[in-house]
Amino acid sequence: MKKIITFGTFDVFHVGHIRLLQRAAALGNHLIVGVSSDALNKSKKGRFPIYSERDRLEIIAGLACVDKVFVEHSLEEKAEYIKKYKADILVMGDDWKGRFDEFNSYCEVIYMTRTPSISTTEIIEVVKSVPNH
Ligand code: C2G
């Protein structure tokens, strides 16, 4: 059994998110996803997510490629999560390249290329710019 772990907010779920999760899942046979809490997102990005923590968890848990979800309460607890879930590989998007190399002592660390031209922030901007909404 090869276990993969990844982390993210997954707010306003989009194709970049599903591609990342499917590619991560394909590296092993058990995908565990840490979904950032609302409070962590506020501290990380300065705003609360559009979708609540409960809804974001429900969406990720419902995906065929995901085996287990949990709430990520702190960026500082990655080592604990990796050990707790006995992950063999940590997958992160390449916007975090180099930032998680320290976990190499617990598991393999892989940074995956992000899908170009799509982000939650851009989607929010587009929605805001639509007249009469
Ligand atoms: N992603 C992607 N392509 C995009 C947008 C996002 O591959 N166009 C990936 C990101 O690289 C990340 C995952 O989808 O691996 C989730 O993205 P976010 O919700 O933006 O994750 P982030 O807020 O960076 O949270 O502990 C780390 C954080 O929780 C990561």
Q: For the chain, which domains are there?
A: 3-129 (3.40.50.620)
Taking the C-alpha atoms of residue 83 and residue 38, their distance in angstroms, rounded to an integer, is 24
Ligand 1 near 50 CB (within 6 A)? no
In angstroms, the CA 85 to CA 70 distance is: 10
The pLDDT value recorded for residue 130 is: 86
Index of the ligand 1 atom closest to the CA of residue 117: 8
**Position 83: which residue type?**
K
What is the 131 CA–ligand 1 centroid distance (Å)?
29
22 lines ligand 1 (CB under 6 A): no
The Cα–Cα gap between 60 and 10 comes to 8
How far, in Å, from the CA of 9 to the mean position of ligand 1?
A: 7
Q: What is the pLDDT of residues 82-92, one digit of tens each?
A: 999 999 999 99
Q: Whose CA is nearest to atom 12 of ligand 1?
A: 93
Which tens digits make up the pLDDT trace of 95-123? 999 999 999 999 999 999 999 999 999 99
Worst-scoring range by mean pLDDT, 9-18, 64-73, 123-132?
123-132
CB 61 within 8 A of CB 69: yes
Which residue minimizes the CA distance to atom 30 of ligand 1? 8
Which atom of ligand 1 lies closest to the CA of 36?
29
Taking Cα atoms as reference points, which of 11, 34, 20, 22 lies closest to residue 115? Answer: 20
Among 5, 6, 10, 66, say which to mutate for ligand 1: greatest number of ligand atoms within 8 Å of CB.
10
Ligand 1 centroid, distance to 7 Cα (angstroms): 7
